[in-house]
Structure 1
Amino acid sequence: MPLNLLFAARPERWETYERPLRDALDKAGFGDANLAQEIAPQDVDYIIYAPNSPLQDFTPYIKTKAVLNLWAGVEAITGNETLTMPLARMVDPGLTKGMVEWVTGHVLRYHLGIDTDILRDDTKWVPRTPPLAQERQVVVLGLGALGAAVANTLLGLGFNVTGWSRSPKDLPGATCLHGEDGLTKALSQAEIAVLLLPDTAATENTLNAETLAQMPKGAFIINPGRGPLIDDAALLAALDSGQIAHATLDVFRVEPLPTDDPYWTHPKVTVTPHIAAETRASTASEVIVENIRRGEADEPFINLVDRALGY
């Protein structure tokens, strides 16, 4: 009997994903699957899902084997008590590559002082010699799939990289720290800090007045992870005092960023509109279908969410 695959996301996503999903299903031998936006709940085998979907009550989906998230972030649904079946988050190779390129670009921007070196009409001609990557300490907060990929690329460029995570991790070539003491040690040497932690109760306000003060004076912050990782008032105060030289922020507690938010006009803040990494329909579809294949072959799903940790 053909599989019933419910696509539960906003209509515009259907236009983006329908063809790539059908191509991936056909390639994997599931060309006869019923992929649709409306299927009777009791008949659904898998739900291809976005957290902003109208579907929030999973109780009627009595035979569904797994919910396969289209987003890397799952914080909006991990607390849904009706979602009792396995939940897989999206780890998309295309998204990872996009994130690596975006972060690397902004790390190099800060490392080389590109903003300073752009000459304007009122700028004096003052040549300077930028430091080498080996002379720069970069700290990556979060060593999941994205954080590890970013750290490896920066290591390849010669940067001194320290990675921090809540639990012990190992990344060849990098100094890996964990726990509260590890965070203090990591931040104390973070000339450039990259935030790639998940959004959980334990990671909210990882950068606050106390932890920002632990960083070297004049440090730089890059946040393509989650908005709640930063205490906004504390960051603004640290920017005003010069403790933090500049921050590039791609994610915020409220998106789109309200027009009256002080980040828009702060001279030491670069705002980007949540563009650091976007799931690519072609590669994400292959990840989704691989989990469907695994489910049908009674193999373990990949990228399963740990409900206790929230990611």
Structure 2
Amino acid sequence: MALLFSYAGANTETWHLELEKHIPDLDFRVFPDVGDPAEIEYAALWMHPLGDLRRYPNLKMILSLGAGVEHIIRDPDLPEGVPIVRLVDDLVVRDMAMHAVHWVIHFHRNYHLYQQDQPQKLWRRHPHLAPNRRRIGLLGMGAMGAVTAKFIRDLGFSVAGWARDPVNIEGVEFFHGDDHFEEFLQRTDILINVLPLTPDTVGLLNSARFAQLPAGACVINISRGPILVEEDLVAALDSGHLEAAALDVFCSEPLATDSPLWSHPKVFVTPHIAGINYAHSAAKLMTDNIKRVRSGELPFPIYDPVRGY
């Protein structure tokens, strides 16, 4: 039983040791030193070269080394019938929720305005609302959205969520379906995007959607860059309709040095660090799925091409 590991820049020794703790006899092979392709039964990947996976005739499972799977399904030559398994790690989910909470507090308390005042040596206090009067909106209510909503709710903010299907979380107002999307945006002062990247969500946050947010709203994007149209965001910020944006993900990564987002005074850039994989916890989830497959069970959670995640 061999596992192909492909994650450029990762500490492969650490990953090997953590995986070995749970399956001591796991044959760990780091791409491109794969040995006999017929011996590869599992593949753990991040941005693997396109077309390579068709070389492994006995591949039983593809494990994503990230919450999303777009880096895998972009391959037009994926082997048919092999399940793709998402990495949903509670530690990463909590990290991303804390990242979102940081920016909610940052914008709520006007720290972005004080940051602009400091170089001008302006000693002035900006008015702010009580938390229960600040309306936070979570776009996407899967595991990440639900945890983030609860964190922010417990800080006393007015929280709402939107998703395709109904979700019930105590103390969180909920909107679902296309018919209620505009209503959700209109009541949102700080929008947090945690939607998965699917054909339906590409370009979802565009000029029309930004216009539906209240004047002075802020945007936080921690899911995937292509969901947000960067040119439309810049235009909404320049017009004054939107007040600020915190972006952790981008249409092209790393963010090009000539991107206007780097120097825009209302944009805060972080290099896709809202959630970072922890080898020790991810290895446990991955080996649990390998054990499931070895026992004839289905791994979890499997990517659903119909739903897009």
Give the TM-score normalised by structure 2.
0.91
The letter for the 1-side match of 2:41 is: D
Instruction: Give distance in 1, aligned partners of 2:212 and 2:53.
Output: 44
1:203 maps onto 2:201 in alignment: yes
Per-residue CA distance 1:34-90 (angstroms, 9 max, x = gap): 22222422222222222x223633334332221111111211322534232011011
Q: Which residue of 2 aligns with 1:155?
A: 153
Per-residue CA distance 1:208-227 (angstroms, 9 max, x = gap): 11111110000000111111
Q: Which residue of 2 aligns with 1:130?
A: 128
Distance 1:54 1:210, change over 3 A: closer
Q: Which residue of 2 aligns with 1:191?
A: 189
**Identical residues among aligned pairs (%):** 35
Equivalent residue for 1:91, pick from 58, 65, 88: 88
Equivalent residue for 1:58, pick from 45, 53, 60: 53
- Are the equivalent residues in 1 in contact too, given 2:48–2:71 (CA < 8 A)? no
Range that drifts further, 188-197 or 78-87: 78-87
Q: What SS is found at the alignment partner of 1:162? A: strand
Distance 1:206 1:281, change over 3 A: same
- Are the equivalent residues in 1 in contact too, given 2:110–2:126 (CA < 8 A)? no
Per-residue CA distance 1:151-188 (angstroms, 9 max, x = gap): 11111111111111123333232122222222111100
Q: Which residue of 2 aligns with 1:46?
A: 42
- Are the equivalent residues in 2 in contact too, given 1:8–1:55 (CA < 8 A)? no
Instruction: Give distance in 1, aligned partners of 2:255 and 2:19.
Output: 32
Distance 1:176 1:269, change over 3 A: same
Q: CA RMSD in A?
A: 1.9
Distance 1:218 1:96, change over 3 A: same
Instruction: Give distance in 1, aligned partners of 2:268 and 2:169.
Output: 30
Distance 1:121 1:63, change over 3 A: closer
Residue ranges of structure 1 left out of the alignment (5+ in a row): none
Q: What SS is found at the alignment partner of 2:54? A: coil
Equivalent residue for 2:110, pick from 110, 113, 135: 113
Give the TM-score normalised by structure 1.
0.91
Shift of 1:9: 3.1
Q: What SS is found at the alignment partner of 1:120? A: helix
Q: Which residue of 1 aligns with 2:63?
A: 68
Q: Which residue of 1 aligns with 2:12?
A: 14
Equivalent residue for 1:281, pick from 271, 279, 290: 279
The letter for the 2-side match of 1:89 is: R
- Are the equivalent residues in 1 in contact too, given 2:182–2:212 (CA < 8 A)? yes
The letter for the 2-side match of 1:87 is: I
Distance 1:55 1:126, change over 3 A: closer
Per-residue CA distance 1:91-146 (angstroms, 9 max, x = gap): 12221121111111110111111233456374444446632221110001111111
Q: What SS is found at the alignment partner of 1:299? A: coil
Range that drifts further, 130-139 or 188-197: 130-139
Q: Which residue of 2 aligns with 1:82?
A: 78
1:164 maps onto 2:157 in alignment: no
The letter for the 1-side match of 2:129 is: P
Aligned residues: 303
Q: What SS is found at the alignment partner of 2:141? A: coil
Q: Which residue of 2 aligns with 1:141?
A: 139
Q: Which residue of 2 aligns with 1:33?
A: 26
